[in-house]
Amino acid sequence: MAEVVLFHHALGPTEGLHAFADELREAGHTVHTPDLFEGRTFGSIDEGVGYAREVGWGEIMARGERAAEALPNELIYGGFSLGVLPAQMLAQTRSGARGALFFYSCVPPSEFGAWPAGLPAQIHGMDADPIFMDEGDVDAARELVASADDAELFLYPGDQHYFADSSLPSYDADAARLLTQRVLGFLGRLD
């Protein structure tokens, strides 16, 4: 079975993040959910991003690196929105990466060098999410897919950012179910 590290979004490690991790665990995968915010959670994206800015993006990335240091190199790196930053950095720069799962966000691969040859990836977002569609994430996702040997971009109908987090009002059960099926298929082929 696959071993996955999932980095949370700007609201922190929500119950919805843990529920998603539990679904992957129920399928037999090992899943780690490090806390980049040291126990803090937030009620809005702006508050969480504000905290990350206050702490410093470099420190948030370093927390992600420190969390991964205690884990094997052969990981699948996943991130939700803000958590895509450390996930993508580690997927692109840490030896042994087996795959990447990016939810609601993506940055140009050039941020961390070239996309590694043969590294599979999935990127998931909603087709009318103003953050994913209008802030460059979908363009970065398309760039990554074009530069990778094995990468897919999945767009779901809707305008919610955190659509797969079952603990939030933005949750879309149908889209989340399809996302989970796709993720489980991805992890299954990387076993």
Read off the pLDDT of each residue in 20-41 and give the average, rounded to a whole number.
Answer: 97
Is pTM, for the whole model, over 0.75?
yes
pLDDT at residue 13, as a whole number: 97
Domains parsed from the chain with CATH numbers: 3-189 (3.40.50.1820)
How much of the chain, in percent, has pLDDT values that exceed 90?
98
Whether the predicted pLDDT of 116 surpasses 90: yes
pLDDT digit string, tens, across residues 47-80: 999 999 999 999 999 999 999 999 999 999 999 9
Tell me which residue of 151, 71, 73 sits closest to 115, measured CA to CA: 151
pLDDT digit string, tens, across residues 127-152: 999 999 999 999 999 999 999 999 99
User: What's the pLDDT band for 83 if we cut at 50, 70, 90?
Assistant: very high
